[in-house]
Amino acid sequence: MSNLGTRHPSDEQLLYFADGEMTAPQSEDIRGHLKACWQCRNELEEIEQTISECVRYRKIVLDTCLPPPPAPWFDIYPQMAKIDESHTRRRLLNRVREPLATVWSNPRRWIPAVAMVLLIAVVVQQFRQAPSVQAAELLRKAVAAATSRPRTARRIRIRTRTQHLTRVVGNAGTAVKTKTAAESTAALESLFQSAHYSWEDPLSAKSYADWRDQLSDKQDQLTREADHYQLRTTTDSGELVEATLKLSSLDLHAVEGTLQFRNREWVEISELPDAPAPSPEASMEAAGAASASGTYPSTSNQREGPAAAATPGEELAVLAGLHSLGADLGDPVEVTRSGGEILVTGTGIGLERQQEIREQLRAMPRVTVRLSSEPSAESPGVEERSPSRISVGPRTGPLQAEMEERLGGRAAFEQFADGVFDLTDAFMSRAHALRRLAQCFPPDVEAQMTSQQRQLLERLRQDHAEALLGNVRDLEGRIQSALGMALDDARQVNTSGQWQDETEQLFVEARQAETMLVALLGASPQETQSPELPDQVAASVSQLFQRAENYLRLTAGR
Amino acid sequence: MFSDSLLVKLTGVLPAEQSRVSLQDEVAELFEEMRDGVFRYVLSLGLHPPQAQEATQEVFLRLYTALKRGEPIQNRRAWVVRVAHNLALKVRAQQSSQSPFEPDIEARLASPDLNPEQNALERERMMRFHRAMENLSEQQRRCLHLRLEGLRYPEIASVLGISASAVGEFLRRAIVRLRKAAHE
């Protein structure tokens, strides 16, 4: 964002800006750029028009076409009064007396009933303390535990809306940024400072406790899961309105945290493993086999202890498992490494697909799969669209009319548009999958991986890159026939050597090509009218093809 | 500050009673404001209208119960949508033998009786936009629905169990797709 004076903001940045999801300095940068740039003002206007159209759609279509509630809405006041009454009536004594009276007549049920009452008493005792007291006590213990441990450097990952950093904290505090963190961390650091939250060690019980202690008003919520405590503090004072901290229940060390600032900026922090654990090599062999055969052998005999952090190798094995199902493409499934486990989450996934994913990952240690039950969504990993349903509308610009004529009529043009949308989706899915690999396995993480793990990572990249190249090649052919022009294949692209950097470049160029193609098909009347658009599309697709070829060469040649 | 007895004299109700009434008013007001949106959202998750209405009403009673218990709820709107989402999925899972509700919006949209004041061009325009909406991925559509209900990115992320950055990406891709339909 810092060099917006010379660079146009991406459509993603413009959307964040339009949606008020940027920090004040970032918004100011964009606003400054917009004052000077007609093109971006026009882009923003179109985004806002689309948002207005969504609102109109909601008002006109959803409000009128969806069925109304079948009955009048209930009067909520009597219902709330009933809740009040039942709260008053359900006193503890009454709740205990009734089951006791029932079991009294049957002595054989006394023992379990009494045991149950005792158990309830223990649980009630455990939770009798106010959450704030529990939170303070837990933090005190966690700080004491951290102090008693030798102070060693550890790596953490920080994600914000626009940045993705890996930092080393707890020692010299040197920061290592991935290529995607193109912007300076100065703004983030100053945000932490203004919130009185330690930037030096943002993932620690002490930093959390220091911030929490200086709050004039706060509310705590403490939950306990199988292997961790989750602490959540909300406040109305200060720049930071909500923070959460996940502490390992084994040794109370902080493994994950989130921060939500008043200006709507958010930060996710998670711990990265210190060094590769001994087991991933074997785990990778399993993953490699899975990638080839589509099934996983059991790896339970190679599990690490429950307290050890999940490793990049294990994360890679999960990604390889998903890849063998094609579930690492498209949108629904997310993989995150958090403390001692790999979390695989997703919603909107058909039951059958869920079953496949669970089955594939079943034998993998320390993998938690959280897929939501959604019977109506039978979507596979890649988005499915019915090609015939893409409509290019009755009014088209001169460019579309020209393409219609060249392709042999409106129906052919619609078919062409459908095909381009499908290919665009397909190559963007690949670009996203590659970007995910680059973000999960930055150079410093990759350097710690075994040769087998690196080979597996390379195979995954190669798969995606080959498919992406195939999509772009197909696209080139279609564009050539629609535009009636040969694409320039002599364009040279610079390569930087690091595949992670190359991936980001590939992603940026894929997105540029996507934007241009959508414009070519009539997304923006102004752009459609531009006589340079076909040349720009041709150049963009050609550049992407060259980039993908180089990328594949770089991947295969390593 | 007034003493409790003075408050009773002035208002005729005890402070606790006053706070209860005020909480009921707040929930009732939110119910009035949000119920149609929540109803539409749970319909979009496949609930049939009677279940959708029941679930919608249930959500606001849960909100009242939670507030009465003193649970800290910073953003009530987001809370309502999150609980409605989870409840709808639960109801659907329990009734998986029944096919999900799928309204025939196209047929209704095409009917000139529905909105006689709308001209044919406008109907055609909305039909195109609707088809573009239908062509979005499930996640893109959900993010968009939730954004339309006024939820911010982190709130949508918490409803759908994904990261806020993923929400941004889904919305971006949805907007790219919809721009085409919007500008025709």
Calculate mean pLDDT across residues A245-271.
85
Question: Average model confidence (pLDDT) for chain A?
Answer: 74
pLDDT of A449:
85
Question: Average model confidence (pLDDT) for chain B?
Answer: 81
Question: Tens of pLDDT along A192-243?
Answer: 888 889 888 899 999 999 999 888 888 888 887 777 888 889 888 888 888 9
Residues paired with residue A336 on neighbouring β-strands, in sequence order: A343
pTM given for the model:
0.44
Other beta carbons within 10 angstroms of residue A444's beta carbon come to 13
pLDDT of A215:
86
- B21 interaction partners in chain A (CB closer than 8 Å): none
Per-residue pLDDT band at B74 (split at 50, 70, 90): confident
Top mean pLDDT of A347-351, A517-521, B112-116 is at: A517-521
pLDDT of A255:
87
Report how far residue A242's alpha carbon sits from residue A237's, in angstroms, rounded to the nearest whole number.
10
A511 touches chain B (CB under 8 A): no
Report how far residue A281's alpha carbon sits from residue A287's, in angstroms, rounded to the nearest whole number.
10
Calculate mean pLDDT across residues A513-542.
69
| Residue in B92, B137, B154 closest to A383 by CB | B137
Outline which parts of chain B fall under CATH 1.10.10.10: 105-183
Report how far residue B27's alpha carbon sits from residue B17's, in angstroms, rounded to the nearest whole number.
15
| A535 pLDDT more than 90 | no
For the record, the structure tokens of B141 come out as 């559509």
Given a contact cutoff of 8 angstroms between Cβ atoms, the answer to whether A200 and A175 are in contact is no
pLDDT of A274:
55
Test B180 with A518 for CB contact under 8 angstroms. Answer: yes
Per-residue pLDDT band at B8 (split at 50, 70, 90): very low
Q: Is the torsion defined by CA of A376, A378, A383, A388 positive or negative?
A: negative
B119 touches chain A (CB under 8 A): no
Distance to chain B for A524, nearest Cα, Å: 6
Question: Tens of pLDDT along A355-394?
Answer: 788 888 877 878 888 776 543 333 333 333 333 333 344 4
CATH of domain B4-94: 1.10.1740
The class level of CATH for B105-183 reads mainly alpha
pLDDT of A396:
59
Other beta carbons within 10 angstroms of residue B176's beta carbon come to 24
How far from A489 is each of A46, A99, A222, A543, CA to CA, in Å?
A: 32, 81, 60, 8
| Residue in A60, A234, A386 closest to B126 by CB | A60
Top mean pLDDT of A302-306, A550-554, B47-51 is at: B47-51
Report how far residue A439's alpha carbon sits from residue A130's, in angstroms, rounded to the nearest whole number.
41
Lowest pLDDT segment from A96-100, A141-145, A391-395, B107-111: A391-395
- B138 interaction partners in chain A (CB closer than 8 Å): 332, 348, 374, 377, 379
pLDDT of A481:
73
Helix (H) or strand (E) holding A368: strand A367-373
How far from A67 is each of A70, A433, B44, B96, CA to CA, in Å?
A: 8, 39, 11, 22
Top mean pLDDT of A542-546, B17-21, B93-97 is at: A542-546
Kindly provide the ipTM of the predicted complex, given to two decimals.
0.81
Report how far residue A162's alpha carbon sits from residue A188's, in angstroms, rounded to the nearest whole number.
11
3 state SS of A1:
coil
The residue among A412, A403, A395 whose CA lies nearest residue A479 is A403
Per-residue pLDDT band at B65 (split at 50, 70, 90): very high
CB pairs under 8 A between A and B: 220
Residues paired with residue A267 on neighbouring β-strands, in sequence order: A160, A259
Outline which parts of chain B fall under CATH 1.10.1740: 4-94
A73 touches chain B (CB under 8 A): yes
Given a contact cutoff of 8 angstroms between Cβ atoms, the answer to whether A332 and B141 are in contact is no
Lowest pLDDT segment from A29-38, A486-495, B81-90, B144-153: A486-495
Pick A542 or A92 by higher pLDDT.
Answer: A542
Test A67 with B74 for CB contact under 8 angstroms. Answer: no
By DSSP bridging, strand A228-234 and strand A240-248 are antiparallel
pLDDT of A275:
41
The residue among B21, B58, B57, B13 whose CA lies nearest residue A81 is B21
Strand spans (E) along A83-238:
154-160, 164-169, 175-177, 219-224, 228-234
Calculate mean pLDDT across residues A398-412.
74
Question: In chain A, whose CA is at the least distance from the CA of B43?
Answer: A66
For the record, the structure tokens of A201 come out as 């060690």
pLDDT of B28:
94
